[in-house]
Each structure stands twice: as structure tokens, then as C-alpha cells.
């Protein structure tokens, strides 16, 4: 099936469905028209999903159908009652849609960080650019480890949480610029690579991984997701498909704002791990095991729960949550 041709053929119907779904009041005739448009749109969405799977056109139509459904299904529920749906359906669905971009960002980060580490480790002149031998030795033998315990655990956890959440928010907010996210990804990879090079140069490579692993597994994954969200917004502007650029940006930005909210909580968990688990005097298998368990829990949330939500037709768009909230406050 030619998806673009199919979308173009039904564009007027979808635009009318969107118009009716946004109206504050409907006449009897308009209500009947909305129901008919909803039924037709549901059939068309089924055709798209059967022929092409998950697509931008299908996602847009799914959002329009969700809005229309809210117009002729019972009264809105309490806002607090919608919170479980946000965390159990909308957020994991939005994360799931970023899975391949997240993997790509992770691979790029690992490759670039490894290349930096190898280059700096094998070239003493390069390593010398990052400090004197005494400074680098102090970092490797004392500074790297003491960084995690020189401040009270609670204040340290709060500081790294807010810093990482701010970086994640910037990735999403400034993703449309195109260059900001690659800059953040490459800068992060360079910092990891240079730090690893210094630690390995002074025979502290094991210390580097032991102190990074407990919190870094989850923290870095969250940053990868934020970068993926920013790149997705940029791509919506570059290649909007059958939508206008304004529609593409609005729809993808709403769904990815869902991700930004969710990452605040994910990074809170990684901040707690960095403040309380990483510097704790526990056996390393225990600390790394806690970090690995946190990462596996997040991946299960993203891939298993998210995949199930997407297959059920969820887009991760905040529009339905916002519409339900508006009905509560308006009523």
C-alpha cells in the first residue's frame, strides 16, 4: 500500500475529525458527524497498522481518534485517577518509540569514548593536555574516588539529580536545533573517554569501572533516551511526512514531553544510587548488582510494558491526558 497516497486521499476526513474533536460545543448534527468520522477513522487506522505497522500517519490518526472518543464517552475522571495511566501506559509507550534511537546514541557514545580513551592512553602528549603529571596522578589515585564521598550523601544525590535532569531537559527542549544533542553526546563521550584514559594510565582502570557501574548504567541510559528524544523532535521538523512541519513538531513534542517528565524520576533513582550506593562500603558485586537491577527494571519498563502499550494503540501523546484534565476542571 502507498501510505502517502492513502493518507492524502483521507486527509480531508482526518482534518474534519480534528476540527470536530477540538470544538468546545457540538450540535446534534455535528455529534452524529463526529461519531461517523470516528468509526471511519478507526477503520482507516486498522488498515494502516495492518499494512505498515507503526507509522507517523497512524500515530497522528490515533491521537485524533483519542480526542474524538473523549467527546462522546462518559464524564471525565478525576485527574489523580489518570496518573496510573500516565505511568503505566503513556510514558512506557513514549519510551518504547525511542528504543532504536536510544540504542544508536548509546553505540555512538561507547565508540567515541573508547576511541578517545585509546588515543589519549597511547599518546602521552595528548594526556598531558589535561593536566600535569601530579594533577593526573592525584585524580587517578584520590580525586576520582573522593568525588563520590566528599559531600553528604543526600546533598550530593540531590546535586547530581538536578544537574542530570537539567541536561536531559535541555536535550529535549533544544533538540529541534539539530546540533545541540550531537554536541552533548560527543562532549559526554569525550569526558568519559578522557577520564578512563587517565585512570588506565595510572593503573586504576578497575576503579573507574567499579565506581561508574553502580549508578552509571541507569544514569547514562537516561541521558541516551533524552538525546534520542531531542533527535526525534529534530527529525519531525526535517521529515514531517504527510503532516505539516507544525503538526509534526506539535504532536512529537507532546509525546516527548512525556519522556522528559519520566526521566526526572529515572534520574532521581540514579542520583540516589550515586549518592548512597556508589560510595557505600559494600562488596562491589552487591553495588554493581543493584545498579544492574535498576537498569534491567528500566529496560523492562521501556521495552516490555512500552511494547505492550504501543501494540494496544497507545501513542504516548499527552493530548489525551490534557483533554481529560481539562474536562475535569471545566466541569
Q: Examine the domain organization and report whether 31 and 88 are in the same domain.
A: no
Residue 288 sits in which domain range?
Answer: 80-312
- Sequence-distant (6+) residues with CB within 8 A of 185 are 105, 108, 109, 112, 227
104 located within any domain: yes
Integer angstrom CA distances of residue 242 from 9, 16, 100, 154, 256: 11, 16, 22, 49, 20
Q: Examine the domain organization and report whether 66 and 135 are in the same domain.
A: no
Above 50 in pLDDT, residue 324?
no
319 located within any domain: no
Q: Examine the domain organization and report whether 170 and 66 are in the same domain.
A: no
- 34-66 pLDDT tens trace: 888 888 888 888 888 778 777 777 778 888 888
265 located within any domain: yes
Q: Examine the domain organization and report whether 31 and 145 are in the same domain.
A: no
| 292 vs 77: CA distance, rounded Å | 38
State the sign of the Cα–Cα–Cα–Cα dihedral 138, 156, 275, 266. negative
Count CA atoms within 13 Å of residue 237 on its CB side.
11
Number of domains in the chain: 2
58 located within any domain: yes
Q: Examine the domain organization and report whether 29 and 105 are in the same domain.
A: no
Cα-atom radius of gyration of the chain, to the nearest Å?
24
- 255-295 pLDDT tens trace: 788 898 999 999 999 999 999 999 999 999 999 999 999 99
Amino acid at each position: 500500500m502507498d501510505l502517502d497516497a492513502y493518507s492524502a486521499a483521507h486527509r480531508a476526513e482526518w482534518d474534519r475529525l480534528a476540527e470536530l474533536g477540538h470544538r468546545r460545543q457540538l450540535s446534534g448534527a455535528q455529534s452524529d458527524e463526529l461519531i461517523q468520522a470516528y468509526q471511519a477513522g478507526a477503520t482507516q487506522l486498522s488498515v494502516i497498522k495492518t499494512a505498515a505497522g507503526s507509522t507517523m500517519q497512524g500515530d497522528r490518526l490515533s491521537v485524533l481518534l483519542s480526542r474524538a472518543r473523549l467527546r462522546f464517552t462518559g464524564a471525565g475522571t478525576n485527574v489523580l485517577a489518570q496518573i496510573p495511566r500516565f505511568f503505566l501506559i503513556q510514558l512506557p509507550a513514549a519510551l518504547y518509540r525511542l528504543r532504536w534511537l536510544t540504542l544508536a546514541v548509546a553505540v555512538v557514545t561507547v565508540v567515541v569514548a573508547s576511541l578517545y580513551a585509546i588515543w589519549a592512553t597511547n599518546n602521552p602528549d595528548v594526556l598531558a593536555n589535561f593536566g600535569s603529571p601530579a594533577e593526573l596522578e592525584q585524580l587517578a589515585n584520590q580525586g576520582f574516588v573522593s568525588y563520590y564521598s566528599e559531600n553528604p550523601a543526600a546533598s550530593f544525590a540531590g546535586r547530581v539529580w538536578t544537574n542530570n535532569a537539567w541536561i536531559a531537559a535541555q536535550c529535549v527542549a533544544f533538540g529541534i536545533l539539530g546540533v545541540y544533542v550531537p554536541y552533548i553526546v560527543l562532549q559526554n563521550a569525550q569526558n568519559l573517554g578522557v577520564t578512563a584514559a587517565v585512570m588506565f594510565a595510572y593503573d586504576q582502570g578497575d576503579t573507574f569501572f567499579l565506581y561508574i557501574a553502580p549508578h552509571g548504567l541507569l544514569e547514562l541510559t537516561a541521558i541516551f533516551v533524552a538525546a534520542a528524544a531531542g533527535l526525534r523532535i529534530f527529525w519531525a521538523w526535517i521529515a514531517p511526512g504527510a503532516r505539516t512541519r507544525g503538526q509534526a513538531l506539535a504532536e512529537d513534542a507532546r509525546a516527548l514531553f512525556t519522556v522528559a517528565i519520566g526521566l526526572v524520576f529515572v534520574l532521581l533513582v540514579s542520583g540516589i544510587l550515586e549518592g548512597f550506593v556508589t560510595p557505600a562500603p559494600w562488596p562491589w558485586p552487591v553495588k554493581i548488582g543493584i545498579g544492574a537491577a535498576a537498569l534491567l527494571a528500566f529496560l523492562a519498563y521501556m521495552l516490555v510494558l512500552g511494547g505492550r502499550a504501543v501494540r494496544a494503540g497507545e501513542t504516548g501523546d499527552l493530548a489525551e491526558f490534557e483533554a481529560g484534565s481539562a474536562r475535569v476542571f471545566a466541569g
